[in-house]
Amino acid sequence: MLRRALSLCLIGGLCGILLVGTYIFTAEPIRLNREANARALAAQMLGAPIPADINIENPIYGSCANWLFQHITTNGYAGDIGWLVLWEREKNTMTIRVTDHRETPGIGDFIDHTRDQWITKNDGMEPLAHANIDNVSGATVTTNALRAAATAASVNFKRFCE
Amino acid sequence: MNSVAQTFSTAALQRNPAWAQLLGLCPLLAVSSTLINAIGLALASTFVVIGSNVCISALRRIIPDAARLPCFVLIIATFTTMTTLVLEAFAYTLYIKIALFVQIIVTNCMILGRAEVFASKQNITATFFDALGTACGFTLALVSLGVVREILAYGTLLAGAHTLFGPTANNWTIQLMDQGLLPLAAYAPGAFLVAGLLFACVRTLRSFKKIPPPKSQSLIQD
């Protein structure tokens, strides 16, 4: 019995060492990749590069005078959906992209701009229009998540800039 | 030497995990829409099947028989997670495309099957060549399906090679036709159709060459 327990501990320990070693080896490149990907997405939404001194990992970043980005999470059909919301003050417009989701492929993944152009057609709409967007048939929960993200982002932007 | 070659060829051809045993079909059909995606998954699967089976073979004397399946799954999951991390670190664009199917390598019957049938009973050298043969057989199936589907769906070959091989592969795309003959081949129904036709071709070749089909219970009889 003791021998079996020791064997299991040894196997678990070996697996743990392999995983920790790989994590240490890959942590920095993964962080850089994720940051580059997030910067590219933000730049594509804004139509201009994001200044290097801005920390894009903050929940809200940018300037109240010009534009603000916000990371926000709402409940989707298959778990949390991560959104990146851009508010441009002068035009009072909002642009929204999905950064992370597990919505059903072919039904709820129309919100993902890499798979469907649906969300890009709403670029430049006013925040209120995003918050009242029509349901997409068969994906009510997913559309609700988008409306909730737009509403929460509007509130947070106002609080942040007051 | 002969036994090593026989172990390899049996695992790769006679008992090809996809074409002969119909194992690992979910990632096979899902990821083979282009050749580069197929090669990416094939490399990931190769690393996992060889690494985990060699590790299981090395530890076979201390793995408790009653808990062998959880131990196998733990080891396979470890190698799958390592593969996922390395892909995310060094082939991020490809990772975004095939991440889901790399993560479910852990549930691939092909890998667990070889661990249970072969790696847990044989020495490291034999296990290595068996795992290499199994990986080559799976790669063969993925690549053949990837080639046919990419040509039919897009009329290209090696599109997006830079996602796997870096900027030097930017010009590797071969444009065979202006557009694909069968765009459906890029989607799931097309994958089933093309795979079904390839299965039929393989079976015809087998009957033509009089290669016996794998035993129905080969996974537990070895």
Write out chain A's pLDDT in tens, 162 residues. Answer: 788 889 999 999 999 999 999 999 999 999 999 889 889 999 999 998 888 888 888 889 998 888 999 999 999 998 999 999 999 988 899 999 999 888 887 788 889 888 888 999 999 899 999 999 998 888 999 999 999 999 999 999 888 887
Contacts of B81 in chain A (CB under 8 A): 19, 22
Shortest CA distance from B63: residue in chain A: A7
- B187 in reach of chain A (CB within 8 A): no
- SS3 of B145, please? helix
User: What residues of A are in the B interface, CB distance below 8 Å?
Assistant: 4, 7-8, 10-12, 14-15, 18-19, 22-23, 25-26, 29-30, 33, 37
Inter-axis angle of helices A2-46 and B68-90, nearest 10: 30
DSSP string computed for chain B = -HHHHHHHHIIIIIT-TTTTT--SHHHHHHHTTSHHHHHHHHHHHHHHHHHHHHHHHHTTTTS-GGGHHHHHHHHHHHHHHHHHHHHHHH-HHHHHHHHHHHHGGGG-HHHHHHIIIIITTS-HHHHHHHHHHHHHHHHHHHHHHHHHHHHHHHSEESTTTHHHH-GGGTT--EE-SSS-S-GGGGSHHHHHHHHHHHHHHHHHHHHHHTPPPPPTTHHHH-
State the pLDDT at residue B210. 66
B63/A11 CB distance under 8 A: yes
Domain boundaries, chain A: 1-48, 60-161
- B71 in reach of chain A (CB within 8 A): yes
A15/B86 CB distance under 8 A: no
Q: Are A110 and A136 contacting, i.e. CB atoms less than 8 angstroms apart?
A: yes
Q: Which class does domain A60-161 fall in? A: alpha beta
- The pTM score is 0.79
B62/A29 CB distance under 8 A: no
Per-residue pLDDT of chain B (222 residues; tens, 9 = 90+): 567 788 888 888 888 888 888 888 888 888 888 999 899 999 999 999 999 999 999 999 999 988 899 999 999 999 999 999 999 999 888 888 788 788 888 888 889 999 999 999 999 999 999 999 999 999 999 999 999 999 999 999 998 888 888 888 888 989 998 888 888 998 888 999 999 999 898 888 878 776 665 554 444 333
A11/B62 CB distance under 8 A: yes
- SS3 of B116, please? helix
Q: Of A7, A12, A33, which is closest to B89 when you measure between CB atoms?
A: A33
Cα(A27)–Cα(B156) distance, integer angstroms: 35
Q: Would you say the ipTM is above 0.85?
A: no
State the pLDDT at residue B215. 55
